[in-house]
A and B are shown apart, each in its own frame.
Chain A
Amino acid sequence: MNVLEVSGLSKKYPKKDVFAADDVTFEVGEGEIYALIGPNGAGKTTTIRMLATLISPTKGDAYMDGFALTKKPDEFRKRVTYLPDEAGAYKTLTGIGYLEFMGSLFAKDKAELEGFVRQGEAISGLGDKLRDKIGGYSRGMIRKLLLARAVMTSPKLAIMDEATSGLDVINALEIRKMIKDLSVNNKMSFLLSSHNMLEIEYLADRVGLITAGKITAQGTVKELKERYNSDNLEEVFVKAVSESEVL
Chain B
Amino acid sequence: MKFSNLFNKEIKGLLTRQVIVSMIVTMFLFIMLGQILGGAMSGISESAMGSKISIANLDGSAFTADILARMEDDGSSLNMVTLPENINPESYAAELENLGIKSLIIIPEGFGDSVINDGENGEITVVSEMSVGGMFTNLDSLSAADAVDTINTASKDEILLKKYGVSDEILAKLEAGAATVDYTTLDGKIAKINPSALSMVMMFQMMIAPIAVFFLLTMASQMIMTAISTEKIDKTLETLLSTPVSRLSVLMSKMTAAVVAALLNVVTMGIGMIFYVGGIAGGVASGIMGSADLSAIEGQVSSADFSAVSDAVASVPQALAALGVTLSIPEYLLFGLQLILSLAIGLAAALLLGAMATDAKSQASLMLPVTMASMLPFFVTLFADVNAMPVMFKFIMYAIPFTNAYMAIPNLMSGNLLIFWVGAAYQAVFLAGTLYAAVKMFMSDKLFTASFGENTKKKSLFAKK
Q: Which residues of A contact B (CB under 8 A)?
A: 13-14, 49, 52-56, 74, 77-78, 80-84, 86-93, 101-102, 104-106, 146, 149
Contacts and interface: CB of A to CB of B under 8 A. Distances in A.
Contacts of B449: 13-14, 55
Contacts of B243: 77, 81, 102, 105-106
Given A49-B448, A78-B244, A105-B2, A89 B9 contact: no
B9 A101 contact: yes
Interface stretch (B44-52, B230-238, B273-281, B393-401): B230-238
B449 to A, nearest CB: 6
Nearest to A58: B445
Nearest to A100: B5
Given A86-B235, A105-B5, 4 more contacts: A55-B448, A56-B444, A101-B8, A105-B2
- Rank and list the top 4 A-B pairs by shortest CB-CB distance, nearest first: A82-B242, A88-B234, A105-B243, A55-B445
B16 interface: yes
19 contacts: A52-B238, A56-B444, A56-B445, A74-B246, A77-B244, A82-B239, A84-B238, A87-B236, A88-B234, A90-B234, A91-B234, A92-B16, A93-B9, A101-B8, A101-B9, A105-B5, A105-B245, A106-B244, A149-B239
A87 B238 contact: yes
B110 interface: no
B12 interface: yes
| Binding site secondary structure of chain A | loop
B433 to A, nearest CB: 21
Contact of B12 (A13, A80, A92): A92
Nearest to B17: A92
User: Size class of B's contact patch?
Assistant: 20 to 34
Contacts of A92: 12-13, 16
Interface in B1-57: 1-2, 5-6, 8-9, 12-13, 16
Nearest to A149: B239
A90 B2 contact: no
A82 B238 contact: yes
Contacts of A88: 234-236
Contacts of A82: 238-239, 242
A54 B242 contact: yes
B80 interface: no
B450 to A, nearest CB: 10
B294 interface: no
A88 B444 CA distance: 22
Nearest to A78: B244
Contacts of B244: 74, 77-78, 105-106
A151 B415 CA distance: 63
A30 to B, nearest CB: 21
A125 to B, nearest CB: 20
Given A54-B448, A92-B13, A104 B238 contact: no
Nearest to A85: B235
A54 B241 contact: yes
A105 B247 CA distance: 12
Nearest to B447: A54
A146 B16 contact: no
B235 A81 contact: no
Contact of B2 (A14, A104, A149): A104
A53 B443 CA distance: 11
Nearest to B463: A15
B12 A54 contact: no
Contacts of A146: 239
A81 B241 CA distance: 10
Contacts of B242: 52-54, 77, 80-82
B319 to A, nearest CB: 52
A7 B12 CA distance: 42
A93 B236 CA distance: 13
A104 B5 contact: yes
